[in-house]
Structure 1
Amino acid sequence: MRTDDTPRIVASVLDFAPTAFLARLALVGAYLAGGIAKLGDWPAAVAEQAHFGLAPPALWAALTIAVELVGPLLILSGRLVWLGAGMLGVFTFLAAVIANAFWAMPAGPERFAATNAFFEHMGLVGGFVLVAILARRGRRSA
């Protein structure tokens, strides 16, 4: 008797070796792209931090670039995944609180958009926790 109710086609996709890497790449791709873009346009990276009231903005821009590049590389490499996932999870949570403070906005379309963006970012935080859990479980069973 089968105890796994996963359809065969789904199981074959999930068991396909590159699927896990591609899923991690999909999760961290925007961070890599953001880090590379900020690195390529330092004045814009600094201006972005100043826009959100972070001082000194150059320090925050450098930290943002480091997190957006190092975190994904750790997750993709499979080494210190907990650290990479933690870096991106904390970064994403703080960015959502700073950039999407919907609770401080008057009702209207901007608040609606900020609310959606905030909770989408919380979903990413959950994804990073799951990445760390799965990496830990994978190491224990290896």
Structure 2
Amino acid sequence: MAGMSDTPRPIAAVLDWRWLWHAARVALVSAYLIGGVQKFMDFPSAIAEQAHFGLEPAALWAAAAIAVELIGSVLVIANRFVWLGAGALGVLTLVAMLAANDFWHMSGHDRFMALNAFFEHLGLIAGLVLVSIISRRTHRA
């Protein structure tokens, strides 16, 4: 990548930094990792969160969210079966964004906030797709 003529040398040096690929994967899944640990440590609140968004049976949804957040994050961080970990996190994010950010039923400020959150989550799903693509290409190379 450093040989690309459109990338300034200082930027190329940062992009070529040995630990950047690992640090970026950790950062990408950090919210899932922290969320999974928090839900695991306070399972009643995790159940209440799922029930709040109408996901029933709430205990099953909470357990599934914890498993996906923790296992998916570890797979992405470890750079193993990234397609599986990122895919599971992407599906979880899609379910969450549809359940929690239903801007099409809102108006005013609430709609504004939900619309922004919806597309932020869509961007996160795109990041998970991109990390899967990059991981696949680096493993093939």
Cα distance, 1:20–1:3 mapped onto 2, change above 3 Å: closer
CA distance in 2, matches of 1:66, 1:3: 40
RMSD of aligned C-alpha atoms? Answer: 1.0
Deviation at 1:4, TM superposition (A): 2.1
Please give the TM-score of this superposition, normalised by the length of structure 1: 0.95
2:52 aligned residue:
51
Deviation at 1:91, TM superposition (A): 0.8
CA distance in 2, matches of 1:131, 1:4: 24
One-letter code of the match for 1:131? V
CA-to-partner distance for each residue in 1:37-76, whole Å, 9 max, x for gaps?
0001011001011111111111000000001100110000
Cα distance, 1:109–1:131 mapped onto 2, change above 3 Å: same
Query: How is 1:23-62 mapped onto 2 (pairs within 5 angstroms)?
Result: 23-62=24-63
| Structure 1: 5+ residue stretches without partners | none
3-12 vs 81-90, which deviates more? 3-12
Moved over 4 A (4+): none
Query: How is 1:41-120 mapped onto 2 (pairs within 5 angstroms)?
Result: 41-105=42-106, 107-120=107-120
CA distance in 2, matches of 1:52, 1:93: 13
Q: Sequence identity of aligned pairs in percent?
A: 58
CA distance in 2, matches of 1:40, 1:76: 21
CA-to-partner distance for each residue in 1:66-103, whole Å, 9 max, x for gaps?
01100110000011010011011111111101100001
Deviation at 1:109, TM superposition (A): 0.5
Q: Is the 8 A contact 2:54 2:99 kept in 1?
A: no
Paired residues, what number? 139
CA distance in 2, matches of 1:56, 1:89: 21
| Structure 2: 5+ residue stretches without partners | none
- Aligned-partner SS, 1:6: coil
CA distance in 2, matches of 1:4, 1:61: 48
CA distance in 2, matches of 1:131, 1:28: 11
CA distance in 1, matches of 2:104, 2:89: 23
CA-to-partner distance for each residue in 1:118-138, whole Å, 9 max, x for gaps?
000000000000010001101
Please give the TM-score of this superposition, normalised by the length of structure 2: 0.96
CA distance in 2, matches of 1:74, 1:21: 12
